[in-house]
């Protein structure tokens, strides 16, 4: 990557844990490809310090913005001065731009990124049934994007059932014709099975769903990138399912995020 100097623009990724994030590698590659003099660094903030960290970042004049990931995607919304319509609807953001006056504008790209990654892998969600584990920030974004992409029906399963019910109701406001139900840990009978929880990030995490109910013909999708093969994907492969790793979602998002952060390639600048 480029040499960092006093004029290099700074970006960060807020996460906890932080060791697994791959955005620094990917975004710094992307900046280099665009010949953008910027650097993205990991910013390890716990839920207990997020508000004051964000308040501090607001005061940094050379900060372009931050990517936001687990567990901060929902909490960040309240800390922004403004969020885009999609972030407000979803109730979560994963990218925050810092305007020149210090105002923070949040946006959510997880859903677009996930569906983009599926399409990049040759899988169009249109007309397929989908099972979604989770109802947090990423799950909300993916649910909205799957409905917008035209899935035939969507089942949402979450440990706290009320959060799944709430998501179902918000989806109904987006598209009253969408077929959405609240499910159980059993993912059987769905073409696409998506883990949008953070379970699998830590080695001792429980599985996000009942893998004994998986069967050939299903495609099991992860949004976790590290480890590359989570316990869920391993179990899915053993049961003869097709699998979809977490990486394509990030790959699809990197360009979208950079654009939202105001980074333009050399041709766009000229």
Nearer to a copy of itself, 4 or 179 (CB): 4
**CA atoms of 246 and 195, how far apart (whole Å):** 10
Are 194 and 249 within 8 A, CB to CB?
no
Closest by CA to 145, choosing from 84, 86, 67, 78, is: 86
Interface mask toward a copy of itself for 96-125; x: CB under 8 A: ------x-----------------------
73 is catalytic: yes
219, exposed or middle or buried, with CB in 10 Å at 0-12, 13-18, 19+? buried
Catalytic one among 2, 73, 163, 168? 73
Q: Which of 46, 150, 206, 240 binds a copy of itself (CB under 8 A)?
A: 46
Give the residue, chosen from 34, 36, 50, 218, that forms a contact with a copy of itself under the rule CB under 8 A: 50
Closer CB to a copy of itself, residue 55 or residue 124? 55
Closer Cβ to a copy of itself, 20 or 259, answer by number: 20
The single residue among 30, 36, 40, 221 that binds a copy of itself, judged by CB under 8 A, is 40
Distance CA 183, CA 181 (A): 6
Residues 72-101 that bind a copy of itself (CB under 8 A): none
Whole-angstrom CA distances from 99 to 61, 71, 81, 104 are: 9, 24, 10, 6
Q: Which residues pair with 43 in a beta bridge?
A: 14
User: Does residue 19 bind a copy of itself (CB under 8 A)?
Assistant: yes
59 binds a copy of itself (CB under 8 A): yes
78 neighbors 50 (Cβ within 8 angstroms): no
Q: Does 20 bind a copy of itself (CB under 8 A)?
A: yes
Q: How far is the CB of 162 from a copy of itself (least distance, A)?
A: 30
Q: Give the CA count within 13 Å in the CB-facing half-sphere of 248.
A: 16
Q: Does 253 bind a copy of itself (CB under 8 A)?
A: no
- What is the total residue count of the chain? 270
- Dist CA 233 CA 237 (whole Å): 6
The yes or no reply on residue 5 touching a copy of itself (CB under 8 A) is yes
CB of 32 to a copy of itself, least distance (A): 11
Cα(17)–Cα(129) distance, integer angstroms = 32
Among the listed residues 30, 34, 36, 39, the single contact to a copy of itself using CB under 8 A: 39
- DSSP state string for 91-148: T--SEEEEPTTS-EEEE--HHHHHHHHHHHTT---TT-EEEEE--SHHHHHHHHHHHH
Q: Does 1 bind a copy of itself (CB under 8 A)?
A: yes
Minimum CB distance to a copy of itself smaller for 35 or for 120: 35
- Cβ nearer to a copy of itself, comparing 7 with 177: 7
Nearer to a copy of itself, 58 or 97 (CB): 58
Place of tokens 């035209």: 150
Point out the residues that are catalytic. Answer: 73
Residues that bind a copy of itself (CB under 8 A): 1, 3-8, 10, 15-16, 18-22, 24-25, 28, 39-46, 48-50, 52-63, 102, 226
């Amino acid at each position: 990557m480029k040499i960092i100097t006093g004029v290099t623009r700074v970006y960060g990724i807020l996460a906890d844990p932080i060791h697994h994030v791959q955005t620094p590698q990917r975004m710094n590659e992307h900046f280099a490809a665009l010949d953008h003099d910027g650097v993205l660094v990991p910013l390890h903030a716990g839920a207990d310090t997020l508000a004051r960290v964000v308040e501090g970042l607001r005061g940094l004049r050379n900060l372009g913005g931050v990517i936001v990931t687990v567990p901060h995607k929902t909490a960040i919304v309240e800390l922004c001065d403004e969020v885009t319509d999609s972030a407000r609807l979803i109730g979560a953001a994963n990218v925050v731009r810092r305007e020149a006056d210090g105002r923070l504008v949040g946006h959510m790209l997880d859903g677009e990124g996930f569906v983009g990654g599926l399409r990049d892998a040759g899988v169009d969600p249109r007309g397929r049934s989908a099972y979604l584990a989770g109802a947090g920030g990423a799950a909300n974004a993916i649910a909205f994007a799957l409905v917008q992409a035209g899935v035939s029906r969507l089942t949402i399963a979450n440990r706290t059932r009320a959060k799944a019910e709430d998501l179902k109701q918000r989806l109904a406001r987006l598209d009253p014709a969408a077929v959405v139900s609240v499910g159980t840990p059993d993912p059987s009978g769905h073409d696409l099975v998506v883990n949008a929880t953070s379970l699998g990030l830590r080695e001792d995490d429980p599985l996000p769903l009942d893998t004994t109910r998986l069967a050939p013909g299903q495609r099991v999708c992860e949004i976790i990138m590290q480890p590359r093969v989570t316990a869920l994907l391993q179990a899915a492969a053993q049961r003869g399912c097709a699998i979809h790793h977490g990486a394509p979602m990030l790959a699809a998002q990197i360009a979208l995020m950079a654009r939202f952060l105001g980074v333009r390639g050399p041709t766009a600048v000229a």
